[in-house]
Structure 1
Amino acid sequence: MDLLINVGLPISLAIIMLSLGIGLETADFRRVLSRKYPFAIGAVCQVVLLPIAAFLTVTLFGLPPEIAVGFMLLSFCPGGVTSNILTKLAKGDVALSVSLTAVISILSILTVPFLAAWSITYFMEENAPDVSISGLAIAMFLITTLPVAIGVIVRRFATGFANRIENGLSTLATALFVLIVVAALAGNWQIFIDNLGIMGTGLISLNVALLLIGLGIARAANLSWAECKSISIDTGIQNSTLGITLAALITGTESGFSPLALPSAVYGITMYAVVLPFLVWFRRR
């Protein structure tokens, strides 16, 4: 188990982030400058409103400290490749979704370490493990930002090679994601069973609320329907693999997968059931 967490988990996340980078072009970053307004709306929903909604959820449901921290870690994570794929299926603005994912994934090395340290201290109090903000930022850079940057560089200078490996890399990333979720659940099975009812209800409620919040804010901002769908999905869909990895980086590996990883692991399953009715609705309208 230690080998899986110490080696397999970081490598898996790095591959997932590399698969994200391989699908990006420099134009995806430049697009932010030409579409400042819809990007700003999406960024505020993800970076500001999402953690606030998570905090309200864990408070209202009275979740145990470790599970509450897990919810918060998940809320700090940016969207991933999944949100881009779901946006495409919803006939949303894929370019906007990709730009949000690209920029916020890179900026997360600045925001996530501070927010993670705060949430652990706030919810776990005297039982909070020591969190090195600089160490967490460096680790996130190595396993998230750097792979994305490498993918973008490969796409820029070896487009043919990037096209050839993109599908295979995405398939591998999906398989690794499934393995990580299963391992995290198996490593905390009794805690998972004991808290499944309230944790599952909280995650589903939060997921539905975020999809609606993103949609409502975008509609109130008078964005196009395609842009509204994109912001809804990018607000409601997070990179659960990063949430699991953050839990491991924070608590260490002495006792296997941390209970802090449980919300992200469960969410990695429930998010598909929650988003499916929205996809059907989005595609029909």
Structure 2
Amino acid sequence: MSSDEQALMDLVARGVKLPPQPQVLVQLEDNLSRGDPDVRTLARTIAQDPGLTAMLFKAARSPLFNPRNRNLDRLDQVLMVIGSKQCLNLARAFSLATSIPGAHRHGMEVFWVRARELARLAALIADDRITVCNVFPDQAYLAGVFYECGVPLLMQRFPDYCQGLTMNTVNSWPSLQEEDQRFNVDHVTIGYLVARHWKLPDFIAQAIRCHREIPHADMGATRSLVAILQLAVHFFFRVNRIDDAHWPILADEVLGELCILPEELEDFFDRISDRFDAES
């Protein structure tokens, strides 16, 4: 048994319920694993889930995933324009929220608003820096949604989680130290194990595990993705007009990894925030 499998069993033993993958995702992964799947077959699989279908059409209307602004009215067209693997990543991201029951309604609503905003910022940063980092927008979006997905699972498991960790506003972020002290587990570890359970690409799972620590340069795509996520977190704070006390610790490594000079950061933020507002 691998260490990840043992950790998953330990979580279950503590009463933390990992969200199962929707059957549509299982079928999509199975079809894609066979090589060159027919887009009509994939479209029929996705069409089983009306909510997922609607979200993919919404994504296909975004300049981020459809830069040529093609008019798409069929799922097979969406798959051809966005790409089959990219659609799978978006389907994973869209499906996560519906796979976790809401135990604390307001806290859940706040969490998913924050997760979606972070994911969009990460996708926009990845799109701008793609020639530098080779991380694609769908991958960054997926990582952004899963980045703190252990939080709603702890809400589900511990009814007083939100009260103790002030998860009632979009600007409050949970403390790993407080979680460890109160619950003997933290949301980052849970998020990493969910990413493994849902078969996310390894570099995305590792980026979730790193959280707010920049990994060594030899970790390649993981390091780039962590840098994208940390800049997205920083921009999230700026968009919401609150101080990011952690940014000075990370700034040099994040900007260096993304090939952004410190004096370029203000212009870069303006460019990303303008696109963020335009697509809201």
Q: TM-score, normalised by structure 2?
A: 0.26
Higher Cα Rg, which structure: 2
User: Which has the larger share of helix?
Assistant: 1
Bigger RCO (CA 8 Å, 6+ sep): 1
